[in-house]
Amino acid sequence: MRRVLFIALISLITLLPVSGASPDEEALFGFTSATSHTERDWENKFRAIPDPKLMRDYMQRLSARPHHVGSPYDKQNAEWILSQFKSWGLDAQIEQFDVLFPTPKERVLELTEPTRYTAKLQEPPVAGDPTSNQQSEQLPTYNAYSIDGDVTGKLVYVNYGLPRDYEELDRLGVSVKGAIVIARYGNSWRGIKPKVAAEHGAIGCIIYSDPRDDGYFQGDVFPDGPMRNENGVQRGSVMDMPVYPGDPTTPGVGSKGDVKRLALKDIPTLTKIPTLPISYGDAKPLLAALKGPVAPESFRGALPLTYHVGPGPAKVHLKVAFNWDIKPVYDVVFKIQGSESPDQWIVRGNHHDGWVNGAEDPISGQIALLEEARSLGQLLKQGWKPKRTIVYCAWDGEEPMLLGSTEWAEYHGDELKQHAALYINTDGNGRGFLAVEGSHSLEKFVNTVARDITDPEKNISVWKRSQAARLTMGGPEDRKDARARPDLRIAALGSGSDYTTFLDHLGVASLNVSFTGEDDGGIYHSIYDDFYWFTKFSDKDFVYGRALSQTVGTMVLRFADADVLPYDFADFADTIHKYNDELKKLLKDKQEQIHDRNQDIDDGVYSAVSDPRRPTVAPPKEEVPPFLNFAPLDNAQNALDRSSQRYSKALKSFNNANSSEQLQELNAKLIQAERKLTNPDGLPRRPWFKHLIYAPGFYTGYGAKTLPGVREGIEEKRYQEADKEIARVAKALQDYADAVDSAAADLEKAGH
Amino acid sequence: MRRVLFIALISLITLLPVSGASPDEEALFGFTSATSHTERDWENKFRAIPDPKLMRDYMQRLSARPHHVGSPYDKQNAEWILSQFKSWGLDAQIEQFDVLFPTPKERVLELTEPTRYTAKLQEPPVAGDPTSNQQSEQLPTYNAYSIDGDVTGKLVYVNYGLPRDYEELDRLGVSVKGAIVIARYGNSWRGIKPKVAAEHGAIGCIIYSDPRDDGYFQGDVFPDGPMRNENGVQRGSVMDMPVYPGDPTTPGVGSKGDVKRLALKDIPTLTKIPTLPISYGDAKPLLAALKGPVAPESFRGALPLTYHVGPGPAKVHLKVAFNWDIKPVYDVVFKIQGSESPDQWIVRGNHHDGWVNGAEDPISGQIALLEEARSLGQLLKQGWKPKRTIVYCAWDGEEPMLLGSTEWAEYHGDELKQHAALYINTDGNGRGFLAVEGSHSLEKFVNTVARDITDPEKNISVWKRSQAARLTMGGPEDRKDARARPDLRIAALGSGSDYTTFLDHLGVASLNVSFTGEDDGGIYHSIYDDFYWFTKFSDKDFVYGRALSQTVGTMVLRFADADVLPYDFADFADTIHKYNDELKKLLKDKQEQIHDRNQDIDDGVYSAVSDPRRPTVAPPKEEVPPFLNFAPLDNAQNALDRSSQRYSKALKSFNNANSSEQLQELNAKLIQAERKLTNPDGLPRRPWFKHLIYAPGFYTGYGAKTLPGVREGIEEKRYQEADKEIARVAKALQDYADAVDSAAADLEKAGH
Is the pLDDT score of A8 beyond 80? no
Q: How far apart are CA B121 and CA B106, in angstroms?
A: 11
pLDDT, tens only, A623-635: 999 999 999 999 9
Domain presence at residue A131: yes
- Contact between A687 and A679 under an 8 Å Cβ cutoff? The reply is no
B458·A608 Cβ contact <8 A: yes
Same domain for A191 and A252: yes
pLDDT tens for B694-717 read 999 999 988 999 999 999 999 999
- The reported pLDDT for the residue numbered A11 is 45
Chain A residue nearest residue B469, CA to CA: A609
Pair (A421, A274) in one structural domain: yes
Q: Chain B: give the shortest CA distance to residue A468, in Å.
A: 5
pLDDT at B488: 84
Number of compact structural domains in chain B: 3
Question: Distance of CA A386 to CAs A46, A350, A444, A546, B146, Å?
Answer: 13, 21, 22, 22, 77
SS3 of A628, please? coil
Q: Is residue A488 part of a domain?
A: no
Q: Which residues of B touch A468 (CB under 8 A)?
A: 600, 604-606, 608-609
What is the bridge-based pairing of β-strands B204-208 and B236-237?
unpaired
Residue B263 is assigned to a structural domain of this protein:
yes
Please report which helix (H) or strand (E) contains residue B281, including its range.
Answer: helix B280-288
Say how far apart CA B161 and CA B174 lie, in whole Å.
14
Does A472 contact B605 at a Cβ distance shorter than 8 Å?
yes
Q: To probe the interface with A, which of B214, B224, B458, B471 has the most A CB atoms within 10 Å?
A: B471
**In a shared domain, residues A552 and A592:** no
Cis omega (within 30 of 0) on the bond before A245? no
Q: How confident is the model at residue B660, as a pLDDT?
A: 78
Q: Do B18 and A220 touch (CB under 8 A)?
A: no
Categorize the per-residue pLDDT at A427 as very low, low, confident or very high, splitting at 50, 70 and 90: very high
For residue B464, list chain A residues with Cβ-Cβ distance below 8 A. 608
Asked if residue B454 and residue B409 are part of one domain, the reply reads yes
Please enumerate in sequence order all residues whose Cβ is within 8 A of that of B453, keeping only pairs 6 or more positions apart, or say none.
B47, B434, B461, B462, B463, B547, B550, B551, B554
Q: Are residues B230 and B128 in the same domain?
A: yes
Q: In angstroms, rounded to a whole number, what is the distance separating the alpha carbons of residues B1 and B354?
A: 9
Q: What is the mean pLDDT of residues A183-198?
A: 97
pLDDT band at A661 (very low <50, low <70, confident <90, very high): confident
Mean pLDDT of the region A182-202: 97
Query: A17 in a domain, yes or no?
Result: no
- Domain contains A685: yes
Task: Tell me, yes or no, whether A667 and A683 share the same domain.
Answer: yes
Task: Report chain B's C-alpha Rg in angstroms.
Answer: 26
What is the predicted pLDDT for the residue at A3?
54
Residue-level pLDDT at B9: 46
How many CB atoms within 10 Å of residue A681? Answer: 10
Asked if residue B395 belongs to a domain, the reply is yes
- Is it the case that residue B7 has pLDDT exceeding 80? no
Which candidate in A224, A309, A471, A540 is best for mutational testing of the B interface (most B CBs within 10 A)?
A471
pLDDT at A9 over 50: no
Chain B CA closest to residue A466: B609
CB within 8 Å: A518 and B220: no
Q: What domain range includes position B261?
A: 101-323
- Yes or no, beta carbons of B518 and A613 under 8 Å apart: yes
Residue B323 CA to residue B103 CA, distance in Å, equals 5
Tell whether A308 and A396 lie within a shared domain. yes
Whether the bond into A304 is cis, omega within 30 of 0: no
Query: Is there a domain that residue A1 lies in?
Result: no
B20 pLDDT more than 80: no
Model confidence at A2, in pLDDT bands (50, 70, 90)? Answer: low
Residue A246 and residue A374 in one domain: yes
Output the pTM of the full model.
0.95
A49-to-A58, A337, A546 alpha-carbon distances in Å: 15, 21, 9
> From CA A624, how far away is CA B496, in angstroms rounded?
45
Chain B hits for A596, CB-CB cut-off 8 Å, are 479
Name which of B447, B448, B466 is nearest B458 in CA terms: B466
Same structural domain for residues B663 and B575? yes
CB of B153 within 8 A of CB of B203? yes
Is residue B368 scored above 70 in pLDDT? yes
With beta carbons less than 8 A apart as the criterion, state whether A205 and A147 touch.
no
Measured CA to CA, the distance from residue A348 to residue A366 in angstroms comes to 11
* CB-CB under 8 Å, A304 with B302: yes
- Residue B217, min C-alpha distance to chain A (Å): 5
Are B472 and A600 a contacting pair at CB < 8 A? yes
Q: Are B227 and A294 a contacting pair at CB < 8 A?
A: no
Facing B217 at nearest CB: one of A218, A300, A432: A300
Q: Is A304 in contact with B303 (Cβ distance < 8 A)?
A: yes
pLDDT value, residue A652: 87
- Cα of A665 vs its chain's centroid, Å: 33
Q: Is the pLDDT of residue A537 over 80?
A: yes
* Interface contact B471-A611, CB threshold 8 A: no
State pLDDT tens for residues B593-609: 999 999 999 999 999 99
CB contact under 8 A, A211 and B304: yes
pLDDT of residue B661: 83
Is residue B637 a contact partner of residue B573, using CB atoms and an 8 Å limit? Answer: yes
- CA distances to A427, A537, B638 from A547, rounded to whole Å, are 14, 18, 63
- Residue B713 has what pLDDT? 98
The Cα–Cα gap between B548 and A609 comes to 18
Same-domain pairing of B723 and B713: yes
With a CB cutoff of 8 Å and minimum separation 6, the contacts of A482 are A15, A467, A470, A471, A474, A488
Percentage helix, strand, coil for chain B under 3-state DSSP, each rounded to 5: 40, 20, 40
Hey, what's the torsion of the CAs at A157, A162, A166, A167, to 10 degrees? Answer: -140
Q: Give the ipTM.
A: 0.94
Distance (Å, rounded) from C-alpha A502 to C-alpha A510?
A: 7
pLDDT at B11: 45
Contact state of B306 with A217 under an 8 Å Cβ cutoff: yes
Please judge whether B472 and A305 are an interchain contact, meaning their C-beta atoms are less than 8 angstroms apart.
Answer: no
Of A225, A465, A614, the CB nearest to B608: A465
Spatial separation of the C-alpha atoms in residues A572 and A707, rounded to whole Å = 13
**Per-residue pLDDT for A154 more than 80?**
yes
Domain final position from B292, B323, B354: B323
A214-228, A651-665, B438-452, B573-587: least confident range:
A651-665
Same domain, B163 and B305: yes
Size of interface A-B (CB pairs under 8 A): 103
The three-state DSSP-derived secondary structure of A416-428 is HHHHEEEEEECCC
- Specify the pLDDT at position A752: 57
Instruction: Report the distance separating Cα A320 and Cα A143, nearest Å.
Output: 10
Q: Which residues, including other chains, have CB under 8 Å from residue B475's CB and lie 6 or more apart?
A: none
CA-CA distances (angstroms) from residue A73 to A143, A324, A614, B579? 21, 20, 56, 69
What is the per-residue pLDDT across A485-525, written as a single tens digit (0 to 9) for each? 988 899 999 999 999 999 999 999 999 999 999 999 999 99
Distance from the Cα of A743 to chain B's closest Cα (Å) equals 40
Same domain as B445, residue B340: yes
Tell which of B297, B592, B600, B609 to mutate to test the A interface (max A CBs under 10 Å): B609
Q: What is the mean pLDDT of residues B279-307?
A: 98
Percentage of chain B surpassing pLDDT 90?
93
Last residue of a domain, one of B294, B323, B352: B323
Taking all residues of chain B, what is their mean pLDDT, rounded to a whole number? Answer: 95
Q: What is the CATH number of the domain that holds A624?
A: 1.20.930.40
Q: Is the pLDDT of residue B123 over 80?
A: yes
Tell me whether residue B493 is in a domain: no
Residue range B198-220: average pLDDT?
98
Supply the CATH number for residue A535's domain. 3.40.630.10
- pLDDT number for residue B652: 87
What residues of chain B lie within 8 A of the CB of A433, using their CB? 609
Nearest CB to A220 within list B306, B467, B605: B306
Asked if pLDDT for residue B719 goes beyond 80, the answer is: yes
Q: Do A611 and B432 touch (CB under 8 A)?
A: yes
Which chain A residues are within 8 Å of B225, Cβ to Cβ? 306
How many Å apart are CA A364 and CA A511, to the nearest integer?
18
Provide, rounded to the nearest whole percent, the portion of chain A with pLDDT above 90: 93
Backbone phi, then psi, for B318, in 5-degree steps?
Answer: -125, 125
A556-594, pLDDT tens digit by residue? Answer: 999 999 999 999 999 999 999 999 999 999 999 999 999
Q: Per residue in B519-535, is it b (16+ CB within 10 Å) or e — as a string?
A: bbbbbbbbbbbbbbbbb
Which of B300, B457, B468 faces A217 most closely, judged by CB atoms? B300
Last residue of a domain, one of B295, B323, B351: B323
